[in-house]
Structure 1
Amino acid sequence: MSVFTFSFSYAFLVTLVVIHRITSEPTEDKQALLSFISTVRHASRIQWNSSASVCSWIGVTCDSTNSSVTYLRLPGAGLVGIIPPNTIGKLSQLRVLSLRSNGLTGEIPSDFSNLTLLRSLYLQNNRLSGEFPASVSDLTRLARLDLSNNNLSGSLPFSINNLIQLAGLLLQNNDFSGELPSINQESLVSINISNNKLNGSIPSSLSRFPASAFAGNINLCGKPLPPCNNAFFPPPSPAPSALESPPLQKSSKKLSKGAIIAIAVGSALILALLLLFLLLCLRRKRKQQRKQSPKPAPPSAAASRGIAEAGTSSSKDELTGASIDGERNKLVFFGSGIYTFDLEDLLRASAEVLGKGSVGTSYKAVLEEGTTVVVKRLKDVSVTKKEFETTLEVLGKINNENVVPLRAFYYSKDEKLLVSDFMAAGSLSALLHVSSIVCYLGSRGSGRTSLDWDHRMRIALSAAKGVAHLHLASNVVHGNIKSSNILLRDATNADAFVSDYGLNTLFTKPSTPNHRVSGYRAPEVLETRKVTFKSDVYSFGVLLLELLTGKSPNHASLGEEGIDLPRWVQSVVREEWTAEVFDAELMTYNNIEEEMVQLLQIAMACVSTVPDQRPAMQEVVKMMEEMNRVETDDGLRQSSDDPSKGSGGHTPPTETRSSPRNVTP
């Protein structure tokens, strides 16, 4: 009986502990946040109900047991005023603090030193003042610090080196002055201190970063900026003794500067003439050898010119492999074909590298008769020749207006080539993200044509139709949907074409994960390495989010650490700040907010973490076609940059809508 009583008591105590952990409320954190929000002016949408759990408040995230606040994100929340002490500084378990894009003023509180578990601190785009906060130097776990676009001043302390896990340091557009300290963290991968008042030489520990990271500091010098001028500090020279006569004879024997230059120029000319003579001799010898040999040059000799010349000499060696010499296989064309060239013509073509992807390298090849094609040189193909030909036979039969047709292929032991049409306007990725460094510095439009809403919608719909055709008509899983595989024929026509489809079956070994590719991959693909129709839908959903947000789906392009594009969008939408999701370029057009929200809802359905909850591609096409389209007379949207003109320079319609800043799907 006593054993039973003990067991019952133990079970009861365990139950009480579990209930307490589930229903616990971080009362101290709650009180600190209430003190903060009651002191700082804020937007009306931030309504924290004191009777509700703090873990349910907008912008607040708790740990799994709801016992402490771990994330506080209030970007663009209209916060105005000084951050009061003994408020946020009491959130001792905080991991991420984001108060960016508000109107906060004054100094950063000293009690921020209590946030010892903080990993990311985002205070950019405020009006904070004072010196670099000493409290921040105590946060040894900090990985990302962004204090850019404020009014901070004073010198940068050497104590920044206390942040031993720091990966990103962004301090641009402030008033920091003095010399730049030597920052030695090996973990540091990005830094930006541009547009301050720093002076002196850049420490060697920071010379590995680009010049753009230090631009706008007129008194800063040294690698990667121009070298420092030490003319003001000449080395001391001993004064000549009055008893010594000047060494006139010794000086007279030295060559003048002009003579030295003349000798150097003459030597260079002589060397150039010798090299030219040797080249002429070699050329003459080759002509004689060709006349003596009636046999045509094998494909490998032709390959040493043309495509192999694109890139470096190492790529030349790779493309002129012995397999082409030995097997003498021919190009296999699909159907009647529109091209009449052969393998030797292709290898003799002039070429340039278009890009290196997860399955191989693409070349733009211009044949002697003027035809331009794309040649993809596949890498790590692990199937047999028969399996390769069977797969390519299926892909070669695909014929759709939104799919890049496969024209021919070549297979040998060491070389596998695919030939397809050339799309002159390039990829959607280049159209969206060109000049990314310039974008980062705040002028995204430089060297880049703005992609308006109507063109984005046409690209999205035509790409969706192409993928749906692969699924329905050809029973082919694309397997590699991303913006660099969505191509456009010309700049005036926004119809998109899907490329690089159905190649996954050629690679039995799982490819090495790539952050640019993994951003598009469905969660189940990252685990199983197996692509399906539903994983294609997920990837297409990420592509739609990329079109809507203008952001690349990798971590580096997002505002905060450890979050992918779908999760970032979900967090912003959940907190009812939908307008913050959309690309700033789209916000200059009127009458499109309803369609943007509709497309956002379609994209979020596609990126559901449960595959069965994702729609089929044909359903995605139908939903996009049923979106309520409100066109202007010229088919383009009105830009708010010039109220008197539309995007195309025409007079806009009289109808206008309210700004989409507070739209919630």
Structure 2
Amino acid sequence: MQLLFVTHIFLVSLSTLTVTSDLSTDRAALLALRSAVGGRTLLWNTTQLTPCQWTGVHCDQNHVVALRLPGVSLSGQLPVGVFGNLTKLKTISLRYNALTGELPEDLKECRVLRNVYLQGNGFSGELPEFLFGLGSVVRLNLGENNFSGEISDGFNRMTRLRTLYLERNMFSGSIPDLGKLRPHLEQFNVSFNRLNGSIPESLREMPLSSFLGNNLCGSPLKESCVGSKNGSNVDGALAGIVMGNDKKDDNGGLSGGAIAGIVIGSVFAVLLLLLVLFVFCRKKRSKKTSYGDVVTVKESREAVDVKNGETDGGKGDGASVAATSMSMGEVESGNGGKKLVFFENSVRKDKVFGLDDLLRASAEVLGKGTFGTAYKAVLEGGIVVTVKRLKDVIISEQEFKEKIEAIGAMDHENLVPLKAYYYSVDEKLLVYDYMSMGSLSASLHGNKGAGRTPLNWEFRSKIALGAARGIEYLHSQGPDISHGNIKSSNILITQSNDSCISDFGLARLVGASASPTRIAGYRAPEVTDSHKVSQKADVYSFGVLLLELLTGKAPTHTLLNEEGVDLPRWVQSTVREEWTAEIFDIELLRSQDSEEKMVQLLQLAIDCAAQFPDQRPTMSEVTKQIEALCQTQVLETQNPEP
């Protein structure tokens, strides 16, 4: 018995020594990491013998198994020798820091690694070969870095991989066939790289957003690989986008029927040329007409009244509209002679144009949003506009006109003005001023590499103030008036670095398929119906927008992280741990004299993103507080330089 007792004591002691030894090795590795990466000091109590109580460090009984340090301003390069001593790691999350260089080679020693989240840094170089030997990895996110070279088919060896994010890097070449991954691969994204060629068959069921911003062709993109230039942008007639493209037959040779077709086509081409010359001469004779084929909102309303309620069909209403328009005939696209309807303010202030001018314009895809696809259209006269092609609009023409006129009547310097619209049964187009500086989302999250212009406090506070004023104006139009889709991609930037809000009022136009999950990250907790977004829900979305401005983090990305924590909850938990200074985007840290104002704006953002609507301020209160923080910017806005 005594021998058994002594043996038991010996084994317990040996086990304790082994655990202490293992954690001591892990602790030394973490301290080496802490001393190697720059930025603000990690708040680790180095007097503790065990690292398991350190922020971001998670242990089982014997080892460190997770290292989660997202958004804590780490900078510099990851040293070799750290991960080789953290061999039991299952999760590494160093996302949204400022780490650079190549991935350390000893990462290959982490044989049980399952989750790797390194997005939002400045890692560079080609993906190392050892990465593909980490066969236990399930989630791999390397997006928003500076990785280059080709995407290797070595990913096929990572047979457990379910998430592969490589977007917003500098990868080139073609996408490899990842057929061995496809049975398990759930999430995939290579958008906004320098890739070209055809999308492999094994990946064609992935969503369209996975491939945007490259030079690719094939499904799910609309670009066909047959005779395609593999362009990601559309450069041609807008009519081809709106009215449908002709299909081409790709036969191997010229049959007799094909030759006959060529002959007939040639005759048709000659006749078409004569017709074009005839139309051109006729237009020259009628050029003294004041506005051409322009219909104002007032004239359009009169045309609808003439129809006595018959507002739903594309047939038969052409005559009614033509009776009140000026000179445009039928557009040979099956649209019944419908016209582009301008708002009267646009007719007075700007150059106007007709539907045929718009359909002849060269077009470039700007992006796909909640309510449809936006195009940059360049007209022959040099006019540049943004055209939004709406989807899921299933309301009658009369109801559409009433709602769109209410949107067009909105007039504020911080709203993107609606110039004109077009309605038919099959197509609904909205025409806006083109904003050449792009969106706040692109400014915050695009171009993370060399040549990026840092966004300082003055810029961000001015953007916040302009957006607040625009939303406050919308809310002042009535208690039931809200935006319903506030997010950074809907905040457009002017040449004077002010902000204008787009897409206001569209939530009430579209059908139920535009679900509120499309604005995940900005959506207030109580919102279940995208058609019923209250003003307090707008305030919540604006609060998330402020947090995005202050942290530099995209709310939609934080939803996909391993902790499942959205941006407001992450900020609130960090503030509770008194890490307030760790929240701000590293580009804001250069404005040290504005840190007190940044903290005040942070508190306002947290108030706006409160869980319960009655705890949130109104937009009028929000605007006043931001104005108080930005008095200098307010004076500059009120007294612009000539």
Kept after mapping to 1: 8 A contact 2:414/2:469: yes
Residues of 1 paired with 2:193 and 2:384: CA distance?
Answer: 43
Query: Corresponding residue for 1:439?
Result: 447
Deviations 1:463-509 (A, max 9, x none): 21222233245223321223444456x523726356523742x45x5
Instruction: Identify the residue that residue 112 of structure 1 maps to in structure 2.
Output: 110
Distance verdict in 2 for CA 1:29–1:580, change over 3 Å = farther
Cα deviation digits, residues 415-446 of structure 1 (max 9, x gap): 79687xx7645287x2435599972665446x
Show the 5 A alignment for 1:206-221: none
Identity %: 31
Partner residue of 1:141 out of 118, 138, 143: 138
The answer as to 2:283 corresponding to 1:276 is no
1:535 deviates by: 0.9
What secondary structure, in the 3-state scheme, does the structure 1 residue paired with 2:458 have? helix
* Counterpart AA for 2:111: S
Q: 1:358 aligns with which of 370, 373, 377?
A: 370
CA distance in 2, matches of 1:62, 1:148: 29
Give the superposition deviation at 1:610.
Answer: 3.3
Task: Measure, in 2, the Cα distance between the counterparts of 1:130 and 1:458.
Answer: 40
Query: 1:113, CA displacement in angstroms?
Result: 0.5
Equivalent position amino acid for 2:487 in 1: K
Matched residue type, 2:608: C
* Alpha-carbon offset, residue 534 of structure 1: 1.4
Larger radius of gyration: 1
Could you say which residue in structure 1 is the equivalent of 2:487?
482
- The match for 2:626 is 624
Q: Which moved more, 1:622-631 or 1:155-164?
A: 155-164
CA distance in 1 between counterparts of 2:375 and 2:82 reads 59
Indicate if the aligned counterparts of 2:475 and 2:535 stay in contact, CA closer than 8 A.
Answer: yes
Q: Distance in 2 between matches of 1:533 and 1:60?
A: 40
Matched residues in 2 for 1:272 and 1:531: separation?
57
Matched, 1:46 2:54: no
TM-score scaled by structure 1? Answer: 0.55
Q: CA deviation at 1:612?
A: 3.1
CA contact (8 A) 2:389 2:428 kept: yes
The CA distance in 2 between the partners of 1:350 and 1:465, in whole Å, is 35
User: What is residue 607 of structure 1 aligned with on the other side?
Assistant: 609
- The C-alpha deviation readout for 1:240-262, integer Å capped at 9, x for no partner, is xxxxxxxxxxxxxxxxxxxxxxx
Is the partner of 2:68 in helix, strand or coil?
Answer: strand
8 Å contact 1:409–1:416 — kept in the other structure?
no
Structure-1 separation of matches of 2:274 and 2:600 = 68
Find the aligned partners of 1:76 and 1:279 in 2 and give their Cα distance. 64
Q: Partners of 2:168 and 2:530 in 1: how far apart?
A: 41
| Deviation at residue 189 of structure 1 after TM alignment | 3.0
Letter in structure 2 aligned against 1:48: W
Count of matched residue pairs:
515
Deviations 1:602-630 (A, max 9, x none): 22332233333322211211210111656
Letter in 1 for 2:537: S
Q: How does 1:125-524 map to 2 (within 5 A)?
A: 132-133=129-130, 136-144=133-141, 160-168=157-165, 183-184=178-179, 185-186=181-182, 187=185, 189-190=188-189, 275-276=269-270, 279-280=273-274, 298=319, 316-317=333-334, 320=336, 337-338=344-345, 348=355, 350-351=357-358, 357-360=369-372, 379-382=391-394, 400-403=412-415, 414=425, 424=433, 426=435, 430-434=438-442, 439=447, 442-444=450-452, 453-478=457-482, 479-487=484-492, 491-492=495-496, 494=498, 496=500, 500-501=504-505, 503-504=507-508, 506-507=509-510, 509-513=511-515, 517-524=519-526
- In structure 2, relative to structure 1, the CA distance for the partners of 1:356 and 1:145 (3 Å cut) is closer
State whether residues 519 and 565 of structure 1, in contact with CA within 8 Å, keep that contact through their aligned partners in structure 2. Answer: yes
Residue 95 of structure 1, CA deviation: 6.8
- The alpha carbon displacement at 1:180 in A equals 11
Q: 2:527 aligns with which of 525, 528, 545?
A: 525
Deviation at 1:151, TM superposition (A): 13
Classify 1:38/1:415 alpha carbon distance in 2 versus 1 (closer, same or farther; 3 Å). Answer: closer
Counterpart-to-counterpart distance in 1, 2:165 and 2:634: 44
Unaligned runs of 5+ in 1: 1-25, 196-200, 215-222, 227-267, 289-295, 636-647, 649-665
- Compute the RMSD of aligned alpha carbons: 6.5
CA distance in 2, matches of 1:518, 1:125: 26
Selected match of 1:37 from 30, 39, 42: 30
The AA in structure 2 aligned to 1:474 is G
Shift of 1:194: 9.4
Residue 461 of structure 1, CA deviation: 1.4
Partner of 1:261: none
Alignment check: 8 A CA contact 1:521 1:538 kept: yes
Alignment check: 8 A CA contact 1:29 1:69 kept? no
Once residues 397 and 45 of structure 1 are traced to their aligned partners in structure 2, the CA distance between those partners, rounded to angstroms, is 53
* Farther-moved stretch of structure 1 (513-522 vs 600-609): 513-522
Query: What is the Cα deviation at residue 536 of structure 1?
Result: 0.2
- SS in structure 2 of the partner of residue 276 of structure 1: helix
> How far off is 1:531 after superposition?
1.1
Partners of 1:396 and 1:301 lie apart in 2 by: 22
**Matched letter for residue 461 of structure 1:** L
Residue 280 (structure 1) shift: 1.8
CA contact (8 A) 2:23 2:51 kept: yes
The residue that corresponds to 1:83 in the other structure is 81
- Aligned counterparts of 1:369 and 1:131: Cα–Cα separation in 2: 51
Q: Residue 426 of structure 1 aligns to which amino acid in structure 2?
A: M
1:218 is matched with: none
Q: Determine helix, strand or coil for the equivalent of 1:554.
A: helix
Aligned counterpart, 1:21? none
Closer/same/farther in 2, CA of residues 282 and 463 from structure 1, 3 Å limit = closer
Q: Deviations over 1:538-594 (max 9, x none)?
A: 22123333444555543299998966554565577668374674274x566674444
Which letter maps to 1:350?
D
Deviation of residue 168 (structure 1)?
Answer: 2.6
CA distance in 2, matches of 1:202, 1:286: 41
- Give the distance between the partners of 2:213 and 2:385, measured in 1 at CA: 38
Instruction: Determine if contact 1:167/1:189 at 8 Å carries over to the other structure.
Output: yes
Q: CA deviation at 1:191?
A: 5.3
Counterpart residue number, 1:576:
579
Deviations 1:140-186 (A, max 9, x none): 4233357977999xx99577343442413589899xxxx99865433
Q: How far apart, in 1, do the equivalents of 2:566 and 2:465 lie?
A: 24
One-letter amino acid matched to 2:370: S
Give, in whole Å, the separation in 1 of the partners of 2:32 and 2:528.
46
Q: Whose relative contact order is higher, 1 or 2, with alpha carbons under 8 Å and at least 6 apart?
A: 2
Letter in 2 for 1:511: S
Q: Write the distance in 2 (CA, Å) between the matches of 1:78 and 1:466.
A: 37
**TM-score under structure 2 length normalisation:** 0.57
CA distance in 2: counterparts of 1:470 and 1:278, whole angstroms: 49
Specify every segment of 5 or more residues in structure 2 that has no aligned partner in the other structure, as ranges: 1-18, 205-210, 217-225, 230-261, 283-316
Moved more, 125-134 or 474-483: 125-134
Query: CA 1:625–1:517 in structure 2 vs 1: closer, same or farther (change >3 Å)?
Result: same
Letter in 1 for 2:505: Y
Q: Which amino acid aligns with 1:535?
A: A
The residue that corresponds to 1:537 in the other structure is: 539
For residues 59-101 of structure 1, the C-alpha deviation after alignment (integer angstroms, 9 at most, x for no partner) is 23689x9x99655226644687443467532345x47466965
Q: How many angstroms does 1:595 deviate by?
A: 3.3
